[in-house]
Amino acid sequence: MFELERFTITSREMMTIDENSEWLGVPRILLMENAGAAVARAVLSWIGTLRGVEVVVFCGPGNNGGDGMAAARHMASMGAKTTVVLLSPIEKVRTSEAKLNLEAIRAMRESIKLFVVEDVSMLQEIKPLIEKAEAVVDAIFGTGIKGSIKEPYRTAIQTINSSKAFKLSVDIPSGINPDTGEVEDIAVRADVTVTFHRVKKGITASTEYCGEIIVAPIGIPPEAELVMGPGDLQDALIDFSQESKPIGLVEPDEEIIRILSKLDTKVYLDDPLNKPVVYIGESVEEYQEINPRSIVLSEGLRRESKIAIIKESSISLQSIKDKSKRAKELAVEHGKIIYLESDIDVVSDGDKCKISWYSRPLRRTGSMTLRAMILFLLSHNVDPFRACCAAGYLAGYVEENGLEKLSSELTYRKSRIGL
């Protein structure tokens, strides 16, 4: 259990990594394909052969269901008599990746039977099929569960649990909270759980539901966890409050004011040290006591700052590992978030560390975008470390695409998370 807990990941962290992976050139459809293949191999390994074996795959309308449909294709190619039970109308399948796999399933008329459940009573029709199945795959929710379990999902979980077949859950047994391991109502009791990339945090608290746990790599680049990418921006925007706090600026670059004004953000140059969010420029040497409740972004190390930006052009020959180590050490020593701005940017809170080589080193507009976006996100109640990672991505985005595209990128990323 100790080894599992060391490498756990939350559903929110996984969403960030998926988005960054796509940005780095490894799209979700490829990850889904690899996930489906891993599930099919696990079923094959457990049973020994799939030729002529009856397999039923329960699929929800999200990407977990898409993983299940990809697995169904692979198992059919291994000779399994495969049935896919889609627990929603076809038009409600949500993501482009799941839709693509559904279309492939619908085209495989000879090798895969598709049963679309639009009413809970329809599940009674497939009971004979479940009773003779040798393997049942749960691809209903995964990490996408929200709230109480409604029909027909609840009856589907009961049906899976009542089966005497080998039961495999995709990523995490459906019904388990992926972050806490809590079961609010009912959950699949699997013989094997194939979880992707890293163990989901909820698995370690609900092992009695998970059976044997297999961690399957699906081709996510290690850099997807390291970089400040669009996934980090979307992660920050999850906490974005429409109400904004005032920002006080002490000797800022005029470009910071210009960028914030484009985002309709109010800034204050008079009595700035009493504002909830405060920026202190590098030329400021002495100043009166700052409101202790203020979140302070400063140029260089200052006692009151929560976030310190340090420009270090002189360390261009150091490795990423050395820069990350330096940022972590400074963060621990000074008890604040350190953002090293260089040919490769590094941000650390003393525990976590993120990097960016995207359009680095930053020129003036990108550099001021970094500062303005940290302030903007802080003013909307975004966690300081998340704000730094999101701003680090946006600074590179502006360098590459121009400041005029900043608002549209924010709007697009909000839409990606349903805001």
Same domain, 257 and 184: no
Based on the structure, what is the number of domains in the chain?
A: 2
Q: Are the beta carbons of 385 and 353 closer than 8 angstroms? A: no
Same domain, 276 and 168: no
Q: Are the beta carbons of 304 and 274 closer than 8 angstroms? A: no
Same domain, 27 and 108: yes
Cα–Cα distance, 120 to 163 (Å, whole number): 17
Same domain, 341 and 193: no
Same domain, 283 and 389: yes
Same domain, 218 and 360: no
Same domain, 356 and 292: yes
Among 192, 224, 256, the domain boundary falls at 224
Same domain, 393 and 256: yes
Same domain, 203 and 284: no
pLDDT of residue 147: 75
Counting residues of the chain whose pLDDT is more than 70, the rounded percentage is 96
Same domain, 237 and 218: no
Give the chain's length.
Answer: 419
Average pLDDT, the chain: 93
pLDDT of residue 292: 84
Higher pLDDT, 314 or 396: 396
Which residue segment(s) compose the domain that 296 sits in? 227-416
Cα–Cα distance, 293 to 291 (Å, whole number): 5
Q: What CATH number does residue 242 fall under?
A: 3.40.1190.20
Same domain, 200 and 248: no
pLDDT, tens digit (0-9, with 9 covering 90-100), for 144-168 = 787 789 999 999 999 999 999 999 9
pLDDT, tens digit (0-9, with 9 covering 90-100), for 253-281 = 999 999 999 999 989 998 898 899 999 99
Among 224, 247, 270, the domain boundary falls at 224
Q: What CATH number does residue 70 fall under?
A: 3.40.50.10260
Written as one letter, the residue type at 381 is N
Average pLDDT over residues 333-345: 96
| Buried-state track 72-101, b at ≥16 Cβ within 10 A, e below 16 | bbbbbebebbbbbbbbbeeeebebebbbbb
| For residue 152, cis peptide bond before it (omega within 30 degrees of 0) | yes
Report whether pLDDT(4) > 70.
no
Higher pLDDT, 128 or 348: 348
Report whether pLDDT(118) > 90.
no
Same domain, 192 and 283: no
pTM of the model: 0.92
